[in-house]
A and B are shown apart, each in its own frame.
Chain A
Amino acid sequence: MNTLTSLEQAEKILAPWTKEAARPEPNRLDIIISGDDVFACTAALKQESWGYLSAITGLDLGPDAGALEALYHFCQGAAITTLRARLPRQGGSLPTLYPLYPVSSFFERELSEMFGITVINTPDSNRLFLPDDWPVGVFPMLKEFDPKVEQPRMETSSQTFPSQDGQKFYVPIGPQHPALKEPGHFEFTVDGEVITEARMRLGYVHRGIEKAVEGQNWVQNLYLLERVCGICSHTHATAYVMGVERLAGVEAPLRAQAIREVIAGLERIHSHLLWLGVSAHEAGFDTLFMYSWRDRETVMDILEALSGNRVNYSANIIGGVKFDIYPEQAATIRTGLEYLEERIRHYLDIVTSDTLFLQRTRGVGQINREEATHLGLLGPTARASGVLRDVRVEAPYGPYTRYPVSIVTSEAGDLEARFIVRLKELFVTINAIRTILDNLPESEMSVRVPRRIPAGETISRVEAPRGEAFYFIKSNGSDKPERIKIRTPSLCNWTAVLSKAPGSQLADAPLLIAGMDPCFSCNDRMITVKRLEHS
Chain B
Amino acid sequence: MFSALQPLAQILLFPAGLFLVINGIVIEWIDRKLVARLQNRIGPRWFQPLADLVKLLAKEEILPAAANPWLFIGLPMIALAGCLTAALYVPIMGLQPAYSFSGDLIVTLYLLSLLTLSKGIAGWNTTNRFSLVGATRGFTQLFAYEAPFLLALLGPAIAARSWQIDTIIQRNAGSWIILTQPIGFLVALIGLMGKLELPPFDAPEAETEIVAGAMTEYSGRGLALFNIAKSVEFVVGLTLVAALYLGGVNNPLEYLLKTLFILVILISLQTLLTRLRIDQTVGLWWRFGTILVLIQWMVLIVWKASAL
Contacts and interface: CB of A to CB of B under 8 A. Distances in A.
Interface of A: 169-172, 177-179, 190, 192-193, 280-287, 290-291, 294, 354, 356-357, 359-360, 505-510
Contacts of A291: 39-40
27 contacts: A169-B129, A169-B132, A171-B133, A171-B210, A178-B208, A190-B133, A193-B277, A283-B275, A284-B200, A285-B273, A285-B274, A285-B275, A287-B38, A287-B39, A290-B41, A291-B39, A291-B40, A354-B274, A356-B274, A357-B274, A360-B277, A506-B209, A506-B210, A507-B203, A507-B206, A508-B277, A510-B209
Contacts of B129: 169-172
Select the residue from B40, B274, B277 with max chain A CB neighbours within 10 A.
B274
B216 to A, nearest CB: 11
Contact of B207 (A178, A190, A285): A178
Interface in B229-283: 271-280
Contacts of A357: 274
A190 to B, nearest CB: 8
A282 B208 CA distance: 5
Contact of B199 (A169, A178, A284): A284
Interface residues of B, number: 30
B274 A509 contact: no
B211 A178 contact: yes
Nearest to B41: A290
A290 B38 CA distance: 10
A282 B31 CA distance: 21
A414 B154 CA distance: 43
A216 B40 CA distance: 46
Given A283-B274, A356-B274, A359-B274, 15 more contacts: A171-B129, A171-B133, A178-B208, A282-B208, A283-B208, A285-B273, A285-B274, A285-B275, A286-B199, A287-B38, A291-B40, A359-B277, A359-B280, A360-B274, A507-B209
B244 to A, nearest CB: 28
A356 B277 contact: no
A179 B199 CA distance: 17
A39 to B, nearest CB: 41
B202 interface: yes
A287 B271 CA distance: 6
Contact of B208 (A190, A290, A510): A510
Contacts of A178: 207-208, 211
A96 B211 CA distance: 39
Interface string B114-154: 00000000000000011011001100000000000000000
Contacts of A505: 277, 279
Contacts, number: 78
A197 B210 CA distance: 17
B40 A356 contact: no
Nearest to A509: B209
Select the residue from A285, A287, A294 with max chain B CB neighbours within 10 A.
A287
Contacts of B211: 177-178
Nearest to B277: A507
A359 B276 contact: yes
Contacts of A192: 136
Contact of A179 (B136, B208, B276): B208
Contacts of A171: 129-130, 133, 210
9 closest A-B pairs by beta carbon, nearest first, are A284-B275, A285-B274, A290-B39, A507-B277, A179-B208, A356-B274, A357-B274, A282-B208, A178-B207
Contacts of B279: 193, 505
Contacts of A177: 211
B197 to A, nearest CB: 12
B273 A356 contact: yes
A320 to B, nearest CB: 40
A191 B132 CA distance: 13
A193 B208 contact: no
Contacts of B41: 290
Contacts of B210: 171, 506
Nearest to B207: A178
Contacts of A510: 208-209
A192 B137 CA distance: 10
A291 B40 CA distance: 7
A135 to B, nearest CB: 32
A193 B278 contact: yes
A286 B200 contact: no
A287 B38 CA distance: 8
A134 B206 CA distance: 36
A286 B203 contact: no
Select the residue from B129, B200, B209 with max chain A CB neighbours within 10 A.
B209
Contacts of B203: 507
A359 to B, nearest CB: 6
Contact of A507 (B199, B200, B278): B278
Nearest to A289: B39
Contacts of A172: 129
Contacts of A284: 199-200, 202, 206, 208, 274-275
Interface string B205-232: 0111111000000000000000000000
A286 B210 CA distance: 16
A178 B133 CA distance: 16
Contacts of B276: 356, 359-360
B281 to A, nearest CB: 10
Contact of A294 (B40, B133, B136, B199): B40
Contacts of B277: 193, 359-360, 505, 507-508
A410 B210 CA distance: 32
B144 to A, nearest CB: 14
A356 B208 contact: no
Contacts of B208: 178-179, 281-284, 510
A51 B210 CA distance: 41
Contacts of A179: 208-209
Nearest to B130: A171
Contacts of A356: 200, 273-274, 276
A354 B276 CA distance: 13
Nearest to B273: A356
Nearest to A294: B40
Select the residue from A280, A291, A356 with max chain B CB neighbours within 10 A.
A356
A282 B210 CA distance: 11
